[in-house]
Amino acid sequence: MSRPLINRSPMPGLGLSVGVTLTMLSLVVLLPIGALLMKGASFGLPEVWAVVNTERTWAALFLSFRISLYAALFNLVFGIVLAWVLVRYDFPGRRIIDAAVDLPFALPTAVAGIALTTLYAPNGFFGQFAKELGFRIAYTQWGILIALIFVGLPFVTRTVQPVIEEIEREVEEASATLGASRAYTLRRVILPMLAPAALTGFALALARSVGEYGSVIFIAGNIPLKTEIAPLLIVIRLEEFDYNGAASIGISMLAISFFMLLVINAVQIFSRRRIGHV
Amino acid sequence: MSDTPAPQFRPANFRPVTTESPLTRWLLIASVVVVLSVLLFAPLIVVFAEALKDGVIEALASLGNRDARSAVLLTLMVTALALPLNAVFGVAAAWLITKFDFRGKAFLITLIDLPFSVSPVVAGLCLVLLFGTNSLFGGWMVAQGYPIIFAVPGIILATLFVTFPFVARELIPVMIEQGKVEEEAALTLGAGGWRVFFTVTLPNIRWALLYGVLLCNARAMGEFGAVAVVSGKIRGQTATMPITIEMLYNEYLSVAAFTMAALLALLALVTLVLKTLLEWRYADQLAATHRH
Amino acid sequence: MQIEIDEISKEFGATAALRPVSLSIPSGALVALLGPSGSGKTTLLRILGGLEFPNSGRVLFDGVDATGLTVQERRAGFVFQSYALFRHMTVFENIAYGLRARPRKSRPPEAEISRRVTKLLELIQLPDIGARYPTQLSGGQRQRVALARALAIEPRMLLLDEPFGALDARVRKELRQGLREIHDSTGLTTVFVTHDQDEAMELADLVVVMSMGQIEQIGRPADIRARPATQFVRDFISA
C-alpha cells in the first residue's frame, strides 16, 4: 500500500512554500554540507583517514569529545536539579533565575569566552583561589570544562522543566500510599519519567559542546595535544590553506554530530513507544 | 461558629507527601544559587566591571574610533538581512510542514534541524569550500569582482546557517497545535490564499514568530565561530562585533574589548527580558516547552 | 479495622473544606461518602489516607490515635480518581511496587512478590496482562490494576476516590459488582467517594451524605431513601 508523495489538499500555497523551503534549505545548508562531503570524496577516504589518524588530530577530537561528555554529564545532573527547584520550590529570586537560565543561549560565545577567562585566569577573581591551592583553571582542560558547562547549561533544564510540570501529583501520592519513602519515589517514579527528556537535553548539550568554538578558545590555552580542541584545529588548517586537512577533520566532526542525532531520535522513539509521549 | 479557635497542631513529621524535607529543599536551592552565581552571574558582572574599569568616559571613548563603528554597523546590517530571510523561510517551512501531508516530512524536519548539531566552525568550513577562491563557483565570483568568502555575503550566509532552524522550530509546534480548521473555514468563506494567511494564520502565530525572531536575533548578532572562519577579519570591512572583541582582546586592549562585549551583553539581557515577557503574557500562543 | 473520625476540621486558606465532622465506621463496612463537588468528601478521604493533615481533630484506627501517622505508616490502600498508574512500569511492576519499596528487612523475596502479584491479577480477573504497560489498557482494566496495586501492600483499609468516575456506564455497572466481591472476599474496611447517588445506594452498606463540609446524614441506603434527614438530602437523592 503506497502512500502518495503529497496528499491532495485544498490548502493554498503549496508551490510557494515548497519553493521557498527547498531553495533556502539547499542554498544555506545542503549545498555547503554537500561541498564538504564532495571535498572529502575527491580527497579520498584513505587520505581523510590518514589526516584524522595523526596524533594531533586524534588528541583534538578526543579532547573535544571527552570534555564535552564531562560537561554534559554535569549538566545532566545539575539541569535536573535546577529544573526541579524552579518548578517545585518557591523562593525569592526564582523568576530571575528561571529567566537567567537562558543566558548562555543569549550571550554571544565570544563574550562568554573572554568573561570566563578573566574570572578563571590565575590573577582573576576565582582563578586566584585556585592558584593559592596550587592549580590553574584557565589555560588547562579545567578551563575548557567550565566553558563547555556554561554553553550546555540550559539544554537539560529546558527539556525537563515542562515534563516536571506535567507530572500528576496523584502519581507521587500513590507512591507514598504504597509505602515508598520520598527518596524511593524520586528514584523509581520521578526519575524514570524525566529520563527521556533529560537524555534528549543531554544529547543536545553534548552536540553543542563538541562543536563549540567561541567560548573555549580564549580560556583553553590552545596547546597542541593538550588543550587544542577539534574546531580550533580546523581553523588552524584553514589558515594554513590546508583545505584537505580542514575538510577531513570537518567530516569526522560531522560524523560525530550525525551519530548523536541518530541517538537522540532513537531515544525519543523508544520513550514514545513506552510511555506514549516524550 | 465556635468562640475559641480550634487548637492548631501538626506533628513534626508531617509535610505534604509531594515535597522534600526542608533541609533537602534548602540544600538544593543553595547549590543551584551557588553554581549559577559562579557560572552565569559572575561572567555577566565581570563584563561590565572590566568595561568600566577606567571609568565610563574611557569606555565610551573606546567605541569612538572608525573600526568600532564599522563593526557595529556591519553586525547590524548582517542581522537586518539575515532575520527577514530566516523569518520568511521559517514561516514557509512551518506552513509546508503543518498544512500539508506528504512523505518524508520527518526527514525534512531533521534537515531543518541539522545546523543545530553542526559545529559553527564546520559550517564556516563548508561555506569556504563551496564559495572560496579555490572552488569553481567562488573563483568565478571573485573574477567577476564579487567575492563571497572574506566578504560580507559570506558572513550573511554563515549567520543564516547557524540561525537556520530558530523560527521554524518555534512555529511548527504552535501551528500543529492550532490545526488548520480556521484556515479551512476562511477558505470556505471565499478568502484567497494570501488573505487566509494574513488575516487568519499570521495573527495566530505572531507572538510565536516574534519569539523565534528574537532568539534568532540574539544568535545572529553574537555568532562567532562560523563568522570567524569566513570573515577574513579585515578591520573596518569584515570584522563584526564578536570578531572585533577577539581582535581587541588578543591585543590586550581590555577596556575596548569588554566595552564592545558589554554592548552585546546588554543585547543579551534585553533579549532575555523580552523573551520572559512574551512567555508570561502570551504563554498560550507559544510552543508548549516555553510555558512555565 | 474500625475507623473513628473525631471532630476533624480542615481549612484551605480562608475556606473551610471540613467544618468539624465526626464519623464512626465499623470494621469491615463498605461506606460511601456521597455529595456534590466541594462537599468535602474527597478531603475527608485524603485525611484518612494521610495525604492531607487536619487543622484540628483526631483520626483513630481501632481506637488508637493515628492522626500523626505519615502516609507510609498508615498502610491505606488508596485508589486515585485518575488511577495514577506508573506509566513507565508494566502492570506487574506497578502491582509489585509497594512490596519492592519496603525496607530490605521486611521486603518479601522476589519469588514471593511474583506469587502475590499473580494471585492479585487473578483476583481482578486479568491474569494475562502483567507484561503490558498502562497505556495499553482500557479504562476499566486500569481501574482494576490500580485496585490490585493498592491491595498488594496488604492494606489495613481501602480508600477509593471516585473509583468509577472515568468509566462509561456499562463498565461502571460491571466494576461495581467487582468491588463488592473484592470487599466481601478481603473483608477490608472500605471507604469510597462518589457524587453518584445510585452508585452509593447500590453498593454501600453505609452512606454518608455530605454538603458544604458537613455531614448531612449517615445511614443505610434504605433508611436514607425512606427518611431523608434534611431538605438537602431529599433533593440530592431524588435528583
Of B45, B5, B39, whose CA–CA distance to B261 is shortest? B45
pTM (two decimals) = 0.90
Cell numbers at C207, concatenated: 452512606
Judge whether B3 lies within some domain: no
CB contact under 8 A, B272 and A100: yes
CA A133/CA A135 separation, integer angstroms: 6
Of A18, A65, C135, whose CA–CA distance to A26 is shortest? A18
Judge whether A167 lies within some domain: yes
Judge whether B59 lies within some domain: no
Judge whether B199 lies within some domain: yes
Are both B158 and B28 inside the same structural domain?
Answer: no
Is A159 in contact with A197 (CB distance < 8 Å)? yes
Interchain CB contacts (distance < 8 Å): A and C: 69
CB contact under 8 A, B6 and C55: yes
Query: Residue B137: its pLDDT value, please?
Result: 85
Judge whether A179 lies within some domain: yes
> From A194, which residue of chain C is nearest by alpha-carbon distance?
C88
Are both B251 and B143 inside the same structural domain?
Answer: yes
Cell numbers at C72, concatenated: 507510609
Query: Mean per-residue pLDDT for B258-265?
Result: 96
- Pick B102's closest partner by Cβ from A6, A81, A176: A6
**Residue B8 touches partner C, C-beta closer than 8 Å:** yes
- In sequence order, the 6+-apart residues with CB closer than 8 A to the CB of A62 are none
What is Dmax (Cα atoms) for chain C?
A: 56
CB contact under 8 A, B17 and C50: yes
Are both B45 and B74 inside the same structural domain?
Answer: no
Judge whether B125 lies within some domain: yes
- CATH number of the domain encompassing residue B155: 1.10.3720.10
CB contact under 8 A, C101 and A184: yes
pLDDT above 60 for B105 = yes
- Pick A111's closest partner by Cβ from B47, B192, B243: B47
Is C16 in contact with C203 (CB distance < 8 Å)? no
Judge whether A239 lies within some domain: yes
Query: Residue B93: its pLDDT value, please?
Result: 97
Judge whether A30 lies within some domain: no
- Pick C87's closest partner by Cβ from A170, A173, A275: A275
Are both B78 and B25 inside the same structural domain?
Answer: no
- Chain B residues in contact with A84 by the CB 8 A cut-off are 28
Judge whether B109 lies within some domain: yes
pLDDT per residue over A121-146, tens digit each? 999 999 999 889 988 998 999 999 99
ipTM for this prediction: 0.91
**Residue C80 touches partner A, C-beta closer than 8 Å:** yes
Query: Residue B291: its pLDDT value, please?
Result: 54
**CA angle, C228 as apex, C226 and C231 as ends, to 5°?**
145
Query: Residue A11: its pLDDT value, please?
Result: 87
- In sequence order, the 6+-apart residues with CB closer than 8 A to the CB of A199 are A267
**Residue C133 touches partner A, C-beta closer than 8 Å:** yes
Taking each helix axis from N to C end, the angle separating B66-99 and B152-163, rounded to the nearest 10 degrees, works out to 40
Judge whether B226 lies within some domain: yes
Domain of residue B125, residue span: 65-291
Is B99 in contact with A11 (CB distance < 8 Å)? yes
Of C143, C136, C206, C134, whose CA–CA distance to C174 is shortest? C143
Is B184 in contact with B194 (CB distance < 8 Å)? no
- Chain A residues in contact with B157 by the CB 8 A cut-off are 28, 32
- CATH number of the domain encompassing residue A185: 1.10.3720.10
- Across chain B, what does the average pLDDT equal? 90
CB contact under 8 A, A14 and B50: no
Are both B82 and B40 inside the same structural domain?
Answer: no
Cβ burial C80-93 (10 Å sphere, 16+ → b, else e):
bbbbbbbbbbbbbb
Of C3, C37, C43, C42, whose CA–CA distance to C23 is shortest? C3
Judge whether B1 lies within some domain: no
pLDDT per residue over A64-79, tens digit each? 999 999 999 999 999 9
Structural domains counted in chain B: 2
- Chain B residues in contact with C53 by the CB 8 A cut-off are 10, 14
SS3 content of chain A, % helix, strand, coil (to 5): 80, 0, 20
Are both B166 and B265 inside the same structural domain?
Answer: yes
Can you tell me whether residue C81 is helix, strand or coil? coil
Judge whether B2 lies within some domain: no
Interchain CB contacts (distance < 8 Å): A and B: 299
Cβ burial A137-148 (10 Å sphere, 16+ → b, else e):
bbbbbbbbbbbb
User: How many Å lie between the alpha carbon of B32 and the closest alpha carbon of chain A?
Assistant: 6
Judge whether A247 lies within some domain: yes
Cell numbers at B244, concatenated: 572585533
- Chain B residues in contact with C55 by the CB 8 A cut-off are 6, 8
- Pick B6's closest partner by Cβ from C9, C50, C71: C9
Chains touching C (3+ CB pairs < 8 Å): A, B
Residue written as grid cell 554530530: A257
DSSP C179-231: HHHHHHHH--EEEEEES-HHHHHHH-SEEEEEETTEEEEEE-HHHHHHS-SSH
Are both B192 and B89 inside the same structural domain?
Answer: yes
Of A169, A217, A209, A274, whose CA–CA distance to A76 is shortest? A209
CB contact under 8 A, B8 and C56: yes
Can you tell me whether residue B98 is helix, strand or coil? helix
CB contact under 8 A, C97 and A168: no
The one-digit pLDDT tens for each residue of chain A (278 residues) are: 467 788 888 888 899 999 999 999 999 999 999 999 999 999 999 999 999 999 999 999 999 999 999 999 999 999 999 999 999 999 999 999 999 999 999 999 999 999 999 999 999 999 999 889 988 998 999 999 999 999 999 999 999 999 999 999 999 999 999 999 999 999 999 999 999 899 889 988 998 999 999 999 999 989 999 999 999 999 999 999 999 999 999 999 999 888 877 877 787 777 766 655 43
Judge whether A52 lies within some domain: yes
Are both B259 and B171 inside the same structural domain?
Answer: yes
Domain of residue A99, residue span: 43-277
State the amino acid at position B275 in one-letter form.
Answer: K
pLDDT per residue over C40-74, tens digit each? 999 999 999 999 999 999 999 999 999 989 999 99
- Chain C residues in contact with B17 by the CB 8 A cut-off are 50-51, 70-71
Structural domains counted in chain A: 1
Judge whether A242 lies within some domain: yes
Give the confidence band of B135 by pLDDT, cuts at 50, 70, 90: confident
Cell numbers at C144, concatenated: 482494576
- Supply the Cα-derived Rg of chain A in whole angstroms: 23
Judge whether A75 lies within some domain: yes
CA B241/CA B228 separation, integer angstroms: 11
User: How many Å lie between the alpha carbon of C211 and the closest alpha carbon of chain A?
Assistant: 24
Residue C104 DSSP code: G
Of C150, C223, C232, whose CA–CA distance to C190 is shortest? C150
- Pick A235's closest partner by Cβ from B42, B228, B273: B228
CB contact under 8 A, C70 and B14: yes
